[in-house]
Each structure stands twice: as structure tokens, then as C-alpha cells.
């Protein structure tokens, strides 16, 4: 693995986790003389950097897992939703996806004759484009990556991109010749084409559920997700980018960013702490510490850093970092980046079984498998007690569906924050509390544990939560066809509830 890191990923890993200096126009690729087998892990790494660093932090705030530490200021804009195109929130990720991953994948697909290589590239391409649609809604697609022949590709709507990449997946899978040997260096799925097919099916399931809830070809897409679940050709375990180690320049990118900054900026947010405390969830100790002030698990109310001292009857000097639960940064020194967890997959299967197959027993089995997979991945005991207690499968179908969604939100904490934020937008679970942040602070008994809280200081302007990130200003400066900007209150195409 160290050899792979030093050779195949050298160009990617020379870029720090907190910054990226790419001079290429992100709308078209540059040529390379590197052999295709060594390009593939670079593409995997670029995507891992997006979901495992910037969007891990950004979506961690949007999913109300993270809040700004009382004595820090690094993420005040995120906490207070002070987000617009001028903040350049998505610039680095846009470059990583277009000038990095998609460029590398196109290069391989243009040169490789192996149908298994092309299929694996198509899966990663679909994943990267799903990420960009879920983040910013629209993006270059049908005219993207055409080089100097088209320096200003048009932007396509998210529905077109989703349906386009799903069609690409189908075509690439139909064309697989299983006699072809996968030639690519592949630290993620070890050149196992059957694992790539299982990953593709899980990706289809995720995207099709969003199309269904976006009211796109509902009957057809319901039949497709039912068939995917019936065929049950999904991956086992987790799909992770697991190449990091506890050594300088080899850290997990999110930890490396924190380590480079030399400051602790993230504390636990009130909703996740309140819900896990209320449900007596033993996983609460996995990634956060009790606050040092009174040894309780205490979350920061979203967007409240500049108001909390007064709300609690404290002075600013009294409201210190020991009053909130700190995130266990060191746990993530060499942690993998999760592309898709087994837990998320089983929660989605449980949803299909309950909503569309009306098979309570199968839904329960998948739900419990999802919870067990998450407990196991964190090496936390007492899953049986949890499933017979607060996590018990009981009540109406509506209650059970709510349980699936809430437990998925818990299971994605410190695993895949982009998916947590995305799924919360799709399902509207956790629900948004009707109680103001100030009232939560003054009368926490009025608050339903786990509900999202409209940030106390809210630059959004209209209340509510972040629905998308602004377009990359880099895209605007290099592509005259970049559409007029959209505010963070404007949902992406599948978020219509």
C-alpha cells in the first residue's frame, strides 16, 4: 500500500488536505503520459478528498452533527449559513471533481480496451457526478470534458445528469466481457469486477430513490428499486478508501486539515447529542467526549456561538470549550473515507421493503442488519439491548419509516456526512423543529430530541436549512455558460417535499 501511495498517488497526495492548486481549467482535461493503471487510484483519491475533507466538514454542519467551538471562529459562516458564491465554498471540490477525477477517468476510458476497466471507471464517474448534483444541483455534463473543442460547455439540470449516468452504468455493464482482466491499480475494491457491480447496484438504489422522491418516472423507478433489492447483488462490507496511516503526510484528509490548522474547531451539535442521549445510544461515546465542565454530553445549539453565553447566563469568558462535547479528532488520524457503508445500504433496502414491497419482516431484518453493521464498524457493544429498547422495530409503518431515517442519520455520523445531509433533504427527517433556537436554550424540555434547529444566527434570511451549495466561482470565471447563481435556499431537483 505504501508503494501505491508513493507512486500511483504521488500527484494527488502532494496536494494538502486543506488546499489544492490546480491551474487546469476545470471544464476540460489536460493530457498525461502516466499509464492508465496508475491513473485510476488518483481518480479514487480525488473523490475521497471531496467527500472525506471539505464536504465532510461542510455537510457535517448542514446535517447538524458539527458546531463551532465556543472559543474558535473558523466555521462561523457555516454555522450561521452565511454562504454565497463569493465564499468559494465549493471551488476546491469542483476542481477536484472536474480537473481531477473526471479528467482522469476520461483519460482511462479513452485509452483502455478492457471492458472491466471501463465499467469501473463508469461507476466512479457516476459517483462523482451524483456528488456534484447533490451538492449544487446543476453541472456541465453532456458537453463537459471536450477539451479545447468546447471551452464553455453548457450546464445540464440534475435530472438529466442522474438519468444520464444511470444509462451509462447500464450500457457499461451490458458491455462487460468477463474474460477481460481488470488492469487498473485499485486499492478500493482490489480489481474485483463483481464488487464493482455490487457497488454500482447500490449506487443505482441510492439514486433511484432520489428520482422517485423527485417525482421522476415514479412507477418505473419503483419497479427498478424493487428488482435491485430482489436480485440482491450488492457489495458486502463497506466501500472505503482505506490508504491512510498515522504518519505525517499520510493522515486521513479531514484529520490532516485539522492538524495543519493546529486548532480544534468542531464540537458536537445539539440535535445529534440530544437524540443519542434520549435514545440511550451507546455509540454516543464513539466520536465525542463528555464536556469537561460537568461530564455530560452537551451539544452546541446550531448557529448560537455568539448568543449562547447570554442565553445561559454566562459571560463570554465563562463560556469555554469545556462546556461542550468535543469531537475525538485523533480517532480519525488513519480512518478510511467511506464511499458507501453497509449500514446505509441496509437502511435503503429496509425502506424499499417497507414502502414499496410492504414486507414488514424483510424490512425489519434489513433495518436491524443496518444498525448491527454500524455498531460493528465502530466496535461498540450492546446492539441487542439497543434493538430491544429505543431502537426497537415497532409501531405503525410511518413510525418504522421514521425510525429507519433517524437511525440512518445516526449511523452516518462520522462516516459519510454528505450522504447524511443529502438523505435528510430527501426524506425531511430529521424534521425541522418549530421551536426557535433561543427557546431550545431556555426551555430544552420543549424540544423534540433529534429535530433540526433553525440556526440562531441565520444569514440564510428566511429561516430553514441549507438546501444546496453555491456554484463554484471558478466555474463562473472559466465558463461563460455557468448559469445565474442560486441561493442556498433553492432545493436541488429531487428535493421537492
Does the structure show a pLDDT above 70 at 33?
Answer: no
In this structure, what C-alpha cell is assigned to residue 364?
A: 425489519
Is residue 56 within 8 Å of 110, Cβ to Cβ? no
Instruction: Look at residue 284 in the predicted model and tell me its pLDDT.
Output: 97
String of DSSP letters for 380-392: ---HHHHHTTTT-
Tens of pLDDT, residues 289-326: 999 989 999 999 999 887 777 776 777 777 788 889 99
Does the structure show a pLDDT above 90 at 244?
Answer: yes
Instruction: Look at residue 316 in the predicted model and tell me its pLDDT.
Output: 72
Is residue 57 within 8 Å of 254, Cβ to Cβ? yes
Report the alpha-carbon distance of residue 108 to residue 125 in Å, rounded: 11
Report the alpha-carbon distance of residue 64 to residue 75 in Å, rounded: 13
User: What radius of gyration do the chain's Cα atoms show?
Assistant: 22
Q: Which H or E run includes 11?
A: helix 10-13
pLDDT, greater one: 344 or 2: 344
Instruction: Look at residue 227 in the predicted model and tell me its pLDDT.
Output: 98
pLDDT, greater one: 442 or 365: 365
Q: How distant is the alpha carbon of residue 446 from its chain centre?
A: 31
Is residue 302 within 8 Å of 67, Cβ to Cβ? yes
Q: Kindly tell me the burial class for residue 477, based on how many C-beta atoms sit within 10 Å of its own C-beta (0-12, 13-18, 19 or more).
A: exposed
In 99-246, the DSSP E strands lie at 139-140, 155-156, 239-241
In this structure, what C-alpha cell is assigned to residue 489?
A: 435556499
Report the alpha-carbon distance of residue 293 to residue 295 in Å, rounded: 6
Tens of pLDDT, residues 448-458: 999 999 999 88
pLDDT, greater one: 10 or 322: 322
Does the structure show a pLDDT above 80 at 14?
Answer: no
String of DSSP letters for 265-286: -EEEBHHHHHHHHHTT-TTHHH
In this structure, what C-alpha cell is assigned to residue 266?
A: 468542531
Q: Which residue has the cell 458546531?
A: 67
Measured between alpha carbons, how far apart are the two ends of the chain, in Å?
Answer: 45
Tens of pLDDT, residues 110-156: 999 999 999 999 999 999 999 999 999 999 999 999 888 998 999 99
Task: Supply the angle between the helices 342-355 and 193-213 in degrees, to the nearest 10.
Answer: 50
Instruction: Look at residue 320 in the predicted model and tell me its pLDDT.
Output: 83
Report the alpha-carbon distance of residue 87 to residue 93 in Å, rounded: 13
Dihedral over Cα of 464, 161, 481, 101: its sign:
positive
Task: Supply the angle between the helices 417-427 and 397-411 in degrees, to the nearest 10.
Answer: 160
String of DSSP letters for 451-467: -B---SS-TTSSSS---
The answer for residues whose C-beta is within 8 angstroms of residue 280's C-beta and 6 or more apart is 386, 389, 390
String of DSSP letters for 435-447: S-HHHHHH-GGGS
Report the alpha-carbon distance of residue 334 to residue 338 in Å, rounded: 12
Question: Pick from 131, 122, 53, 79: which is nearest to 468 by CA?
Answer: 131
| SS3 labels along 53-94 | HHHHHHHHHHCCCEEECCCCCCCHHHHCCCCCHHHCCCHHHH
In this structure, what C-alpha cell is assigned to residue 265?
A: 474547531
Report the alpha-carbon distance of residue 332 to residue 492 in Å, rounded: 31
Q: Is the pTM of this model over 0.95?
A: no
The answer for residues whose C-beta is within 8 angstroms of residue 6's C-beta and 6 or more apart is none
The pair phi, psi for residue 360, each rounded to 5°, is -65, -40
Q: How distant is the alpha carbon of residue 363 from its chain centre?
A: 24
Mean pLDDT of the chain: 90
Amino acid at each position: 500500500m505504501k508503494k501505491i501511495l508513493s507512486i500511483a498517488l504521488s500527484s494527488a497526495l502532494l496536494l494538502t488536505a486543506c488546499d489544492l492548486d490546480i491551474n487546469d481549467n476545470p471544464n476540460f482535461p489536460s493530457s498525461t503520459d502516466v499509464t492508465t493503471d496508475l491513473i485510476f487510484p488518483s481518480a479514487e483519491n480525488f473523490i475521497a478528498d471531496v467527500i472525506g475533507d471539505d464536504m465532510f466538514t461542510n455537510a457535517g454542519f448542514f446535517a447538524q452533527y458539527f458546531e463551532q467551538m465556543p472559543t474558535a471562529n473558523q466555521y462561523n459562516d457555516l454555522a450561521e449559513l452565511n454562504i454565497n458564491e463569493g465564499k468559494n465554498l465549493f471551488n476546491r471540490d469542483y476542481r477536484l471533481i472536474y480537473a481531477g477525477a473526471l479528467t482522469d477517468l476520461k483519460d482511462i476510458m479513452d485509452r483502455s480496451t478492457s471492458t472491466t476497466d471501463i465499467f469501473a471507471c463508469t461507476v466512479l464517474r457516476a459517483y462523482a457526478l451524483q456528488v456534484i448534483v447533490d451538492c449544487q444541483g446543476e453541472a456541465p455534463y453532456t458537453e463537459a470534458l471536450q477539451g479545447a473543442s468546447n471551452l464553455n460547455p453548457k450546464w445540464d439540470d440534475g435530472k438529466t445528469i442522474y438519468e444520464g449516468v444511470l444509462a451509462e452504468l447500464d450500457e457499461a455493464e451490458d458491455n462487460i466481457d468477463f474474460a477481460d482482466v481488470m488492469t487498473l491499480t485499485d486499492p478500493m475494491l482490489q480489481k474485483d469486477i463483481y464488487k464493482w457491480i455490487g457497488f454500482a447496484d447500490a449506487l443505482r438504489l441510492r439514486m433511484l430513490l432520489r428520482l422517485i422522491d423527485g417525482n421522476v418516472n415514479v412507477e418505473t423507478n419503483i419497479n427498478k428499486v424493487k428488482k435491485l433489492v430482489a436480485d440482491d447483488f450488492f457489495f458486502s462490507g463497506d466501500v472505503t478508501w482505506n490508504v491512510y496511516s498515522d504518519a505525517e503526510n499520510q493522515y486521513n484528509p479531514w484529520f490532516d486539515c485539522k492538524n495543519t490548522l493546529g486548532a480544534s474547531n468542531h464540537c458536537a451539535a445539539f440535535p445529534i447529542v440530544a437524540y443519542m442521549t434520549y435514545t440511550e445510544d451507546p455509540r454516543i461515546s464513539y466520536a465525542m467526549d463528555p464536556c469537561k465542565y460537568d461530564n455530560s454530553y452537551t451539544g452546541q445549539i446550531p448557529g448560537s456561538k455568539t448568543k449562547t453565553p447570554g442565553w445561559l447566563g454566562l459571560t463570554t469568558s465563562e463560556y469555554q470549550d469545556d462546556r461542550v462535547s468535543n469531537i475525538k479528532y485523533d480517532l480519525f488520524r488513519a480512518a478510511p473515507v467511506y464511499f458507501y457503508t453497509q449500514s446505509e445500504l441496509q437502511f435503503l433496502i429496509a425502506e424499499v421493503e417497507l414502502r414499496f414491497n410492504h414486507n414488514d419482516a424483510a424490512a425489519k431484518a434489513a433495518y436491524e442488519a443496518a444498525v448491527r453493521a454500524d455498531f460493528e464498524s465502530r466496535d461498540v457493544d450492546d446492539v441487542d439491548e439497543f434493538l430491544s429498547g429505543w431502537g426497537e422495530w415497532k409501531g405503525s409503518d410511518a413510525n418504522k419509516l421514521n425510525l429507519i431515517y433517524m437511525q440512518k442519520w445516526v449511523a452516518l455520523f462520522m462516516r459519510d456526512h454528505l450522504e447524511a445531509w443529502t438523505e435528510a433533504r430527501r426524506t425531511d427527517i430529521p424534521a425541522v423543529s418549530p421551536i426557535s433556537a433561543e427557546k431550545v436554550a431556555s426551555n430544552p424540555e420543549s424540544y423534540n430530541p433529534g429535530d433540526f434547529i433553525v440556526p440562531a444566527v441565520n444569514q440564510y434570511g428566511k429561516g430553514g436549512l441549507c438546501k444546496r451549495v453555491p456554484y463554484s466561482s471558478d466555474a463562473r470565471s472559466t465558463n461563460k455558460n455557468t448559469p445565474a447563481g442560486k441561493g442556498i435556499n433553492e432545493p436541488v431537483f429531487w428535493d421537492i417535499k
